[in-house]
Structure 1
Amino acid sequence: MPVCCIPKPESMSQLCENCDPGERRNIIASILAGGLFFTGWWFVIDAAAQFPSDDQFKHAYHVCGVIATIGMFMVNTVTSGQMRGDTYTDGCMGPYGARIWLFLGFVLSFGSLIAACWILFGGYVMPDMDPQWPGVAIFLQNMFIFFGSIIYKFGRVEEF
């Protein structure tokens, strides 16, 4: 069919009439969040493989990524229905317990991101260490886990 014979849509709503992003929103958010989580851990695995000695990359710095991962699981185990009290009325403290759990998950996530900044600048930038990649890798790991957690929590729709 020649290009001049293709019917032109009257508006953008007619152009996107058949594509409903609501149906694929959960899939896209899950793939994006999983990709960010994978990329963050991949950076740290790369840094640990390149610098195996404790002088260049302290192995205790892996704690930040583990704490960020625990925080991600804590944030994403609480649903919106549990927060509102629609589906979660029993248990330890009902919706208040779910809110406290979510808050503690966010505290762990933010705390690990702040600790990664501290490791980057306090351990690698300020002392002017020659390989700065391990500090950057720790920071990128925690940043990607944090953003992956946020995308997975708020990018999905739970009413399917």
Structure 2
Amino acid sequence: MSGCLDNVQCHLPECCRIGDKRNAIASVLAGIFFFHGWWIIIDAAVLYPDNSQMKHAYHVVGIFSTVAFFMINAVSSGQIRGDNYNSGCLGQTGARIWLFIGFMLAFGSLIGSCWILFGGYVTNSFEAVYPGVAIFLQNFFIFIASMIFKFGRTEDLWE
């Protein structure tokens, strides 16, 4: 069954064609998002150093999001499909479990940052809501970075 957009062709000018630069562009974009996520939370930690304004335990969500970033991008698509990975502890099944746990950590961190923003700052009517917004933006940017780094690159260029 074909899709409705299979026959649509978009002719891009020569300057806008990505070609062999796809992996480099995706890596740089993911790095920019990852950097900005951590930069925002460092800014919030410097502006609100007191534990009453921004609890230090809220940084754990960003650490879990960073661990999820590395877990998601530690396995290649070939390992998930089973194309080039038949050894190891659990083989293809182990790679899929590892990726699933990484996605659970990423989504859990994003949901946790939403809970911190709304439950900890918006509903309690703090005078400063920026620490909650910074925690959410950190986790959102790291999540976007992990998705760009995982799905924006292609493994065809590695060969």
TM over 0.5: yes
Asked which structure has the greater CA Rg, the reply is 1
Report the counterpart of residue 112 of structure 1 in structure 2.
Answer: 109
**4+ residue runs of structure 1 moved beyond 3 angstroms?**
12-15
The answer for the alignment partner of 1:136 in structure 2 is: 133
Deviation (angstroms), 1:87: 1.2
RMSD (Å), alpha carbons: 1.4
Call closer, same or farther: CA 1:45–1:15 in 2, change over 3 Å. Answer: closer
| Structure 1 position 15, deviation (Å) | 4.0
The letter for the 2-side match of 1:141 is Q
CA distance in structure 1 between the partners assigned to 2:113 and 2:11 by the alignment: 44
Taking structure 2 as the reference length, the TM-score comes to 0.89
Separation of aligned partners in 1, 2:105 and 2:11: 42
Whole-Å separation in 2 of the counterparts to 1:133 and 1:13: 43
1:23-54: CA deviation from partner (whole Å, max 9, x where unpaired)? 11111101110000000000100000000000
1:5 matched residue in structure 2: none
- Say whether residues 1:100 and 2:88 are aligned partners: no
Q: 1:13 deviation in Å?
A: 4.4
TM-score by length of 1: 0.89
**5 Å matches for 1:11-160?**
13=11, 15-16=13-14, 20-160=17-157
Q: How many residues align?
A: 148
Unaligned runs of at least 5 residues, structure 1: 1-11
